[in-house]
Structure 1
Amino acid sequence: MVCALAILHLRAEDLVRYRTIAALIAATFLLILAHLLPLPPAVWQMLPHRDLIVEIDGATGLADVWRPLTIAPQRTWNALFSLFVPLSVFLLLARFDRGQLRALLLPVICIGLLSGFVGLLQITGGEGSPLYFYSIHNDRAAVGLFSNRNHQAMLLASLFPMLAVYASLQVRTTQRFRLRAMVCAAAGAVLVPLLLVTGSRAGLVLGLIGLASVPFLFRRPATDDPQRRKAAAFPIVPVVLGIAGVTLVALLALLFSRAEALTRITGSEQAEDLRFQAFMPMLDMAWRYFPFGSGLGSFVEAYQRDEPASLLKPEYFNHAHNDFMEIALTGGVLALLLLAVAIAAWLIAGLRVWRPFKTGSDDTRIARMGFVIIGQFLLASTVDYPVRTPSLACLLILAAVWLKSGIRQSEAEVSNRLEVPQAFR
């Protein structure tokens, strides 16, 4: 319904502004639909690694049945329908102007902090806490509004660049800037222990990347009044208080044995992690289905088909925990090409937004923030599947729109500044 409403109010120029994002989303839809297209038996039976299905059809008298490329059509249909959530968000965001996109920073930050505090209450309440909103979740972990500690950590880590940019946005008075900077510094201080208690090793790395981006994203707002500019110097006191708060709360978290991420790193769980043991078998599966793949969304069936006996466990292996591997296995070469195009578009956008002559405007900082968040998603996807979570998929779309919108506005600003005066034309 939201998607239909967004389409009714969509204008052609909105899609033109974000044509790269729109093209990537459209190509993803078309690829999934291609995997659902029924094929004659002579065609689908020749696809790689379909011998078991052919044998079963032959034994049951179904040899003449038309089948799609995917080995699990119901899963692929689910993958198709799940795309409508981020699509709806994109179509709505395409209508937003720069001010409205900028205004989304605060609610996203608040949602992230809320999820972090819910995680604290979860580990305080224990395994049976009613604040675990999903029946299947990481036990005794601070998963917040998610069911997976890595997804919670991804959201929290993305807040560091958001806070840096939000603290840098233009305000009318120096007092407002100081207040905003102090609040953002305090929120950043709280984020560190919230990230630690998730127990996500990947989250620690993502958090470090987010922290490392802060000096490149934060700039004090420019002012016209010299006195105001002098007063709006870098907020030393809030930063010092923030660092002190980080140290204190992190020490308390460690003292009460809540820093699960550090515990898991120093323990032996990493060596026993099923994800690392399954990497080579999954690589072999990807080659068996290459170049067409097993069908987008069909990982569970594809993995069960060739799961090594040595890795059989009572636990349910729902994803490859490496989205690049899963895309190769289920989507084949076309999905990999689409992924390569998306990464290339991100890198090209990065070159445009990080050029030395770029202005220090709010638009530039927002674009750079979007670039950093997308980079965090790419890194997180090497050990998990954050984009397959609807809420995080929407955050990725928002980051892409922030990046594209910020580039367009900042380049227009540079063009206006470099425009030759009318008298010299």
Structure 2
Amino acid sequence: MNGYAKNGPRLMGVGPFIVFCVVAAFLGGASRADELALVLFRPIGIGLLGWVLWSYPLTQFRHGRAFCFAIIGLIVICTVQLIPLPPSIWTALPGRGEISAIDRLIFGVEIWRPITVSPRATWNTLFSLLSLLGGYLAFLALAKSNNNLALKSLLAISIISIMLSIVNLQFGHTIFPLYSLAGIGEGGLFSNSNHFGIFSAISILVAVILIKEDSLTKARQARWYAFLALVLLFLVGVVLSGSRLAFAASAFACMIAAMVFARNLDFSNATNSQSGLISRALGLTAHSRWPGRFLLFGFYFSIIGCIATFLYVATLQRELSIGSFEAPDLSEDIRFRIIPVLLKLATEQWATGFGFGSFGSIYPVYETDDIMINKYVNQAHNDGLQIVIEGGIAAGLVAIGLLIWLALRIVSLFRSGDVDRGLVAIGVVAVIGLGSVFDYVLRTPLMAFAIMCILTVLLSSKPSMRSEVCEEHCRKSGSNMNGVS
């Protein structure tokens, strides 16, 4: 008998989710396996995984089964990569010949080895995936009526991260040193300024869907004022990050948010309860000589100007005064220079991969003299290629399958008439896709957890009044049954 059968719906609370949010916010903002914060984060997440599985029936998690299957698939691949293989099989794998020769030189015989060339790194990846699954199941254990609460929690994490960056900037040093920072820009709750900027850009999309559904303020007249204030705050986070990648991502996020914003405001009728807010703010009335179409034109012109400015800054020469903008041009960025090496690794290791987490160990072997730099390259800065390099074709199929599912779910949103959620979902996927092509944003537990929660909320059906009533009835019935027993 599991915990749910013994305690019933009484356990259906937000406690586990809030606990994981706090832990992920303050311990899950790094991607390097040797960070002390991640060493503390993993056992907490794994412990939460066991507690959630004991406390809830598996049917509670069915609306997130796509992400669950993807994580479980990666866990299975990691496990297989850790199984020792006989020398006859292991030495036949590409890239293992030199290691086999070293074994014969040192030990006199060929020894059994796993697929991964760095077992410790693969164990770390396995534990990280298990802890991530624990947090995601804690989110799925929430009632659907608490979906907006989950989004608000993630929004709060972003705001705290920006506030922390502002305080750090004011004092001139990091007052809460969680990790060793990568980059010159501010990192907030993240160890990488790129990840901090991307998270701020995604927060714009979370804010617009919450505002649109009246979930941040009950005053309908004031909700878009709140949205504009939040957008300005999150753009401050983007600027503090000093990341060109974040500037480009925030420009796209602003474009999607503007589309949702415009869809929910009728500029042609200044007396409308929603558009009247904007009209009065601009000094217009229903009898103004300025037609609504000019107001609409001005709105779009302002948005396009904002987006163009951010895109322009994203391609500028980097200046130390605004963050980590130190590279003279994009062509000299290490992300572009190592692409030939990444393609060579991917074509050689498409069958089994070198093992999850082992990129930092194997890359120096393939690094050529013309791209050698005095910095440690521990990630490929391209998740699409790195997942094949480390996990082989099996991991690539998991990623492709998840992307196909996301595309089908987004199409179904548009077909069902939920255009706003469809637009925001496209925005989230596009921003993360941009971050994954030029960086490794999803290798940060906090980012991966937040993205799964956001997309699950956006792509799942909104709870109807009837379902909420039934849910409440089930809770009461369960409580009564517990009292009788």
Structure 1 pair 63–189 and aligned structure 2 pair: CA distance change class (3 A): same
Q: Is the 8 A contact 2:193 2:241 kept in 1?
A: yes
Following superposition, the deviation at residue 142 of structure 1 comes to 1.5
Written as runs of structure 1 = structure 2, the 5 A alignment for 1:2-17 is 2-17=48-63
Alignment of 1:8-407 (within 5 A): 8-61=54-107, 63-126=109-172, 128-139=173-184, 141-170=185-214, 176-218=219-261, 220=264, 230-233=272-275, 235-236=277-278, 260=322, 264=325, 268-355=328-415, 357-359=416-418, 365-366=420-421, 368-406=423-461
Report the CA distance between 1:332 and its aligned residue. Answer: 1.4
Cα 1:373–1:45, aligned 2, differ >3 Å: closer, same or farther?
same
Q: Which amino acid aligns with 2:180?
A: S
Over 3 Å counting, the alpha-carbon distance change for 1:284 and 1:178 in structure 2 is same
Which amino acid letter does the alignment assign opposite residue 131 of structure 2?
Answer: V
Q: CA RMSD in A?
A: 3.3
Offset of residue 86 of structure 1? 2.0
Find the aligned partners of 1:359 and 1:71 in 2 and give their Cα distance: 47
Displacement of 1:285 after TM fit?
Answer: 2.1
The residue type equivalent to 2:430 in the other structure is G
> Cα distance 1:239–1:71, how it changes in 2: closer, same or farther (>3 A)?
farther
* Aligned amino acid, residue 195 of structure 1: V
TM-score computed with the length of structure 2 as normaliser: 0.72
Contact 2:139 2:150 in 1 (8 A): no
Contact 1:289 1:329 in 2 (8 A): yes
Q: How far did 1:402 drift?
A: 1.1
State the distance in 2 between where 1:108 and 1:118 align.
Answer: 15
Which secondary structure does the structure 2 equivalent of 1:318 belong to? coil
Could you tell me how far 1:180 is from its partner in structure 2? 2.9
For the residues of structure 2 that align with 1:59 and 1:129, how far apart are their CA atoms? 48
Mean CA deviation greater in 115-124 or 293-302: 115-124
Letter in 1 for 2:405: A
Query: Aligned equivalents of 1:96 and 1:358: distance in 2?
Result: 26
Displacement of 1:157 in angstroms is 0.4
Residue 269 of structure 1: how far off its partner (Å): 4.8
Judged with a 3 Å threshold, the aligned counterparts in structure 2 of structure 1 residues 353 and 164 are, in CA distance, closer, same or farther, namely: same
- Tell me if structure 2 keeps the 8 A contact 1:98–1:405: no
Letter in 2 for 1:208: A
Deviates more, 1:210-219 or 1:328-337: 210-219
Structure 1 residues 32 and 271: CA distance shift in structure 2, 3 A = same
Alpha carbons 1:161, 1:217 under 8 Å: kept = no
Read off the aligned partner of 1:358 and give its amino acid letter.
Answer: G
After superposition, what is the alpha-carbon deviation per residue over 1:138-176, rounded to whole angstroms, capped at 9, x for unaligned? 23x121111111100111000111111111124799x71
CA contact (8 A) 2:183 2:192 kept: yes
Please, which moves more after superposition, 339-348 or 399-408?
399-408
Determine the C-alpha separation between the residues in 1 that align with 2:81 and 2:280: 54
CA positional deviation for 1:43: 0.7
> How many angstroms does 1:132 deviate by?
4.5
- Which deviates more from structure 2 when the two are superposed, residues 11-20 or residues 69-78? 11-20
Report the TM-score, using the length of structure 1 for normalisation.
0.82
Partner of 1:417: none
1:69 Cα shift?
0.5
Paired residue type of 1:116: I
Following superposition of structure 1 onto structure 2, how do residues 406-421 of structure 1 map, counting pairs within 5 Å?
406=461
- Matched position secondary structure for 1:48: coil
Cα separation, 1, equivalents of 2:367 and 2:382: 16
Post-superposition shift, 1:71? 0.6
| Contact 1:122/1:132 (<8 A) preserved | no
Contact 2:349 2:388 in 1 (8 A): no
After superposing on structure 2, the runs of 4+ consecutive aligned residues of structure 1 that deviate more than 6 Å are 237-244, 407-410
Aligned residue identity for 1:297: G
Separation of aligned partners in 1, 2:437 and 2:141 = 32
1:131 deviation in Å? 4.3
1:136 and 1:314 map into 2 onto residues whose CA distance is: 17
Report the Cα offset of residue 18 of structure 1: 2.6
Q: Distance in 2 between matches of 1:172 and 1:50?
A: 55
| Aligned-partner Cα distance in 2 for 1:59–1:172 | 66
Q: Supply the distance in 1 between the matched residues of 2:197 and 2:455 (Cα, whole angstroms).
A: 20
Question: Contact 2:201–2:246 (CA<8 Å) still a contact in 1?
Answer: yes
TM-fit CA distance, 1:383: 0.4
Contact 1:109 1:163 in 2 (8 A): yes
What are the ranges of 5 or more consecutive residues in structure 2 without an aligned counterpart? 1-46, 284-298, 314-318, 468-485
Q: Measure the CA separation in 2 of the matches of 1:234 and 1:198.
A: 36
Determine if contact 1:142/1:198 at 8 Å carries over to the other structure.
yes
The answer to whether the 8 Å contact 2:265/2:275 transfers is no
